[in-house]
């Protein structure tokens, strides 16, 4: 008799078994202290670090994408840079204490984590997610991409063995080997799953958010890189090409378009040639469009992570063997310009714009076409323009004078090292952060009483926001009131204030609510705050707020962007 096997059912059953054993392991994992957890994390990082190149080679052989040398770097980044960053983080027991406010923060595991791993960066993403989960005392079950099962399973095996030897409960790390959409869906939806870390295509991330579980997903990255006229053009072009070609463009934060300031166009073109980038002809551009995009306008997965030579061959033309990147001149962004999308390959769109303001809008257009909230880079030595991009561009990682591929993950910048990059609400994500173990713990707060109920008075009004800011702390010291304040008590407070500060702008009668006799308003004479000021910066705003005074401005007053941000919601400015 022939035994029939339903792969979907086998995958679902495997997910359930891994979740069951993982949940049990989580009970013991949660009992470990910080020292024990740190020893386990150190052991895992060390073990997988020694296998970085072998795992990279296995990933390239299995997926047919990327470069062994660059995948090795990513594996080392996850097991070294990420490890160095997280090893000092407090995630267990008391993680913070505010003695002034008498609040103690206690780290608590979120529970069993379902982690979805992509085919683009399978081994490095697995390393990162296991380290982050276990650092927070969370068991983890991994669902590999169907095209990257072997390399993902091997990565998890190495780390699991090291973890158990260092004292981790068995089954703290699980990895599916029979992978189907149904099995992955079961993993995400199951009642034992407490949180999802989803890295993959838009459909997978949407499924994670639709599972009913808390989920950290990532959005697509259609990353523009702007080279402004004051930039070090040689370094800028070198950085852009390095990011675009790293692992054949498989990082979602790799540069997808180079936006060039018109005054430096010729210098940029010269540097592109020096860096072995090939600018395709108009005829070759048309051929590329047919192979990069499907008839439905989606990215053709066959070109993802491939070499420029192979992509050119697929399109029907040939290039030299030393070419590292294909550069395509474009005039627009959108579905009618297929090469303006995220390409996940060594293909770079090129735009030339006259002036940073026009270039700025071009960058926004590119981000809006499938990259909102993710990453962009600017190469410039004009600090005002750099700040304009930082303040106003719809990307939550703006890398300055560095490769966006490397800067966004924290390899060449000071942002938290991570291989899971949130895109915020514009990108459909719950956070704009680089994900760290601190996102994978709950925080319990032990809060001691600092103001007994029977001692509450008007002097706390400004702190709680329950009283008008017109009444200062000094004039109300020691007055006891209930939630709304008794009418006669308020009257006495007002009279005391008037006696000390000056007359009222109208009779000192209180206007009261007709229903429950609550005081509705008290109006005082406006003080003389002086003449309008010429210039306001962030320091001026903070000083005025701390001193409880207003800042008088008029139409000629210059207010810095940082000053406006600091004053937001504080009602500090008055017209002179």
DSSP assignment of 325-356 equals EEEEE-S--BTTBGGGS---SSEEEEEEESSH
Query: To which H or E segment does residue 395 belong?
Result: strand 395-400
Query: To which H or E segment does residue 472 belong?
Result: none
Mean pLDDT computed over 270-275: 98
What phi, psi does 140 have (nearest 5°)? Answer: -140, 140
The tokens for 2 are: 């022939």
In this structure, the answer to whether residues 236 and 214 fall within a common structural domain is no
In this structure, the answer to whether residues 203 and 81 fall within a common structural domain is yes
The tokens for 95 are: 């993680």
pLDDT at 549: 83
Average pLDDT of the chain to the nearest whole number: 88
Q: What pLDDT band is residue 401 in, cutting at 50, 70 and 90?
A: very high
Three-state secondary-structure class, residue 273: helix
Do residues 262 and 354 make contact, with C-beta atoms less than 8 angstroms apart?
A: yes
CATH number at residue 270: 3.40.309.10
Mean pLDDT computed over 363-375: 96
pLDDT at 515: 40
Which of 521, 547, 565 finishes a domain? 521
**For residues 140 and 131, what is the distance between their CA atoms, to the nearest angstrom?**
10
In this structure, the answer to whether residues 140 and 241 fall within a common structural domain is no
Structurally, the chain folds into a number of domains equal to: 4
If we measure between CA atoms, which residue out of 62, 109, 97 comes closest to residue 305? 62
Indicate whether 420 belongs to any domain.
no
Q: What pLDDT band is residue 522 in, cutting at 50, 70 and 90?
A: very low
Task: Report how far apart the first and last C-alpha atoms of the chain are (Å, whole number).
Answer: 94
Query: To which H or E segment does residue 368 belong?
Result: helix 356-368
pLDDT for residue 449 is more than 90 = yes
Percent of the chain with pLDDT over 70: 86
Instruction: Assign residue 504 a region (left: φ > 0; alpha: ψ between -120 and 50; beta: otherwise).
Output: beta
In this structure, the answer to whether residues 387 and 484 fall within a common structural domain is no
**For residues 77 and 31, what is the distance between their CA atoms, to the nearest angstrom?**
30
List b or e across 452-462, with b for residues whose CB sees 16 or more CB atoms inside 10 angstroms: eeeebebbebb
Indicate whether 563 belongs to any domain.
yes
Do residues 288 and 335 make contact, with C-beta atoms less than 8 angstroms apart?
A: no
In this structure, the answer to whether residues 107 and 150 fall within a common structural domain is yes
pLDDT for residue 468 is more than 60 = no
Do residues 375 and 421 make contact, with C-beta atoms less than 8 angstroms apart?
A: yes
Looking at 221-225, 242-246, 305-309, 562-566, which range is the least confident one?
Answer: 562-566
pLDDT at 388: 93
pLDDT at 499: 57
In this structure, the answer to whether residues 235 and 365 fall within a common structural domain is yes
DSSP letter (8 states) at residue 224: E
Q: What pLDDT band is residue 514 in, cutting at 50, 70 and 90?
A: very low
**For residues 555 and 322, what is the distance between their CA atoms, to the nearest angstrom?**
59
pLDDT tens per residue, range 195-227: 999 987 778 888 898 899 999 988 789 999 999
pLDDT for residue 234 is more than 70 = yes
In this structure, the answer to whether residues 163 and 275 fall within a common structural domain is no
Looking at 20-34, 357-371, 380-394, 485-499, which range is the least confident one?
Answer: 485-499
In this structure, the answer to whether residues 162 and 300 fall within a common structural domain is no
Three-state secondary-structure class, residue 299: strand
Indicate whether 427 belongs to any domain.
no
The tokens for 193 are: 């799953």
Indicate whether 260 belongs to any domain.
yes
Mean pLDDT computed over 392-421: 97
Indicate whether 429 belongs to any domain.
no
pLDDT at 457: 74
Sheet with 277-279: strands ordered across: 277-279, 325-329, 347-353, 255-261, 223-227, 373-379, 395-400
Do residues 550 and 573 make contact, with C-beta atoms less than 8 angstroms apart?
A: yes
In this structure, the answer to whether residues 385 and 240 fall within a common structural domain is yes
In this structure, the answer to whether residues 297 and 336 fall within a common structural domain is yes
Q: Which residues contact 157 (CB under 8 A, 6 or more apart)?
A: 175
The range of the structural domain enclosing residue 307 comes to 223-407
291 burial class (0-12, 13-18, 19+ CB within 10 angstroms)?
A: middle
pLDDT for residue 553 is more than 50 = yes
Strands 103-109 and 441-447: antiparallel
Three-state secondary-structure class, residue 138: coil
Three-state secondary-structure class, residue 499: helix
pLDDT at 523: 41
pLDDT for residue 483 is more than 90 = no
Q: Which residue has the higher pLDDT, 313 or 563?
A: 313
Query: Quick one: CA torsion of 159, 164, 170, 175, rounded to 10 degrees?
Result: 10
**For residues 168 and 186, what is the distance between their CA atoms, to the nearest angstrom?**
26
pLDDT for residue 479 is more than 60 = no
- Using only the alpha carbons of the chain, give its radius of gyration: 29
In this structure, the answer to whether residues 356 and 478 fall within a common structural domain is no
pLDDT at 477: 43
Do residues 536 and 549 make contact, with C-beta atoms less than 8 angstroms apart?
A: no
Three-state secondary-structure class, residue 192: coil
CA angle 220, 236, 366 (to 5 degrees): 30
In this structure, the answer to whether residues 125 and 240 fall within a common structural domain is no
Mean pLDDT computed over 175-203: 93
Which of 445, 468, 500 finishes a domain? 445
Beta bridge partners of 98: 103
pLDDT for residue 542 is more than 50 = yes
The tokens for 250 are: 């498989």
Q: Which residue has the higher pLDDT, 574 or 53?
A: 53
**For residues 78 and 68, what is the distance between their CA atoms, to the nearest angstrom?**
15
Q: Which residue has the higher pLDDT, 563 or 300?
A: 300
Indicate whether 326 belongs to any domain.
yes
Indicate whether 431 belongs to any domain.
no
Mean pLDDT computed over 371-400: 96
**For residues 398 and 381, what is the distance between their CA atoms, to the nearest angstrom?**
15
The tokens for 492 are: 């006495």
pLDDT for residue 510 is more than 50 = no
The tokens for 324 are: 């590292």
pLDDT at 230: 98
pLDDT tens per residue, range 14-42: 999 999 999 999 999 999 999 999 999 99
pLDDT tens per residue, range 80-136: 999 999 999 999 999 999 999 999 999 999 999 999 999 999 999 999 999 999 999
Contacts of 488-497 spanning 24+ positions with Cβ under 8 A? 490/519, 490/522, 493/458, 494/522, 497/471, 497/472, 497/524
Indicate whether 425 belongs to any domain.
no
| Catalytic residue ranges | 252
Percent of the chain with pLDDT over 90: 74
Which of 498, 521, 544 finishes a domain? 521
CATH number at residue 164: 3.40.605.10
Upper half-sphere CA count for residue 560 (Cβ side, 13 Å)? 12
């Amino acid at each position: 008799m022939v035994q029939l096997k339903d792969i979907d059912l086998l995958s679902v059953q495997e997910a359930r078994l891994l979740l069951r054993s993982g949940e049990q392991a989580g009970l013991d994992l949660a009992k470990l202290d910080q020292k024990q957890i740190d020893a386990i994390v150190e052991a895992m990082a060390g073990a997988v670090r020694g296998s970085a190149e072998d795992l990279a080679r296995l990933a390239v052989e299995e997926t047919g994408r990327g470069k062994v040398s660059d995948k090795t770097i990513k594996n080392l980044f996850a097991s070294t840079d990420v490890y160095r960053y997280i090893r000092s983080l407090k995630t267990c027991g008391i993680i913070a204490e505010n003695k002034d406010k008498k609040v103690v923060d206690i780290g608590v595991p979120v529970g069993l984590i379902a982690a979805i791993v992509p085919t683009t960066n399978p081994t490095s993403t697995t390393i990162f997610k296991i380290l982050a989960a276990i650092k927070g005392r969370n068991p983890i079950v991994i669902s590999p991409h169907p095209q990257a099962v072997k390399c993902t399973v091997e990565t998890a095996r190495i780390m699991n063995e090291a973890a158990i030897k260092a004292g981790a409960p068995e089954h703290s790390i699980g990895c599916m080997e029979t992978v189907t959409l149904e099995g992955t869906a079961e993993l995400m939806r199951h009642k034992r799953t407490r949180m999802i870390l989803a890295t993959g295509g838009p459909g997978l991330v949407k499924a994670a958010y639709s599972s009913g579980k808390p989920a950290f997903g990532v959005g697509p990255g259609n990353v523009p890189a702007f080279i402004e006229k004051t930039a070090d053009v040689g370094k800028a072009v070198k950085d852009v090409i390095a990011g675009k070609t790293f692992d054949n463009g498989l990082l979602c934060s790799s540069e997808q378009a180079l936006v060039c300031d018109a005054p430096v166009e010729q210098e940029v073109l010269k540097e592109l040639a020096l860096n072995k980038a090939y600018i395709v002809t108009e005829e070759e551009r048309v051929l590329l469009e047919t192979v990069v995009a499907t008839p439905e306008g989606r990215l053709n997965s066959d070109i993802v992570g491939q070499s420029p030579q192979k992509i050119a061959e697929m399109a029907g033309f040939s290039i030299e063997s030393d070419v590292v990147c294909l550069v395509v001149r474009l005039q627009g962004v959108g579905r009618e310009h297929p090469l303006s999308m995220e390409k996940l390959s060594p293909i770079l769109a090129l735009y030339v714009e006259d002036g940073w303001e026009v270039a700025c809008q071009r960058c926004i257009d590119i981000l809006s076409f499938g990259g909102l909230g993710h990453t962009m880079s600017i190469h410039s030595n004009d600090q005002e323009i750099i700040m304009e991009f930082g303040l106003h561009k719809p990307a939550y990682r703006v890398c300055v004078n560095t490769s966006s591929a490397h800067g966004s993950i924290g390899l060449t910048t000071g942002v938290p090292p991570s291989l899971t990059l949130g895109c915020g609400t514009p990108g459909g994500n719950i956070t704009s952060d680089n994900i760290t173990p601190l996102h994978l713990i709950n925080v319990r707060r032990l809060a001691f009483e600092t103001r007994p109920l029977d001692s509450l008075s008007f002097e706390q009004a400004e702190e709680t926001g329950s009283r008008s800011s017109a009444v200062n702390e000094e004039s109300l010291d020691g007055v006891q009131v209930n939630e709304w304040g008794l009418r006669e008590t308020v009257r006495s407070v007002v009279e005391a204030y008037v006696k000390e500060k000056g007359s009222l702008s109208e009779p000192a009668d209180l206007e009261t609510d007709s229903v429950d006799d609550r005081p509705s308003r008290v109006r005082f004479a406006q003080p003389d705050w002086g003449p309008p000021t010429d210039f306001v910066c962030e320091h001026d705003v903070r000083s005025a707020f701390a001193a409880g005074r207003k800042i008088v401005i008029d139409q000629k007053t210059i207010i810095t962007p940082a000053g406006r941000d600091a004053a937001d919601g504080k009602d500090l400015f008055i017209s002179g």
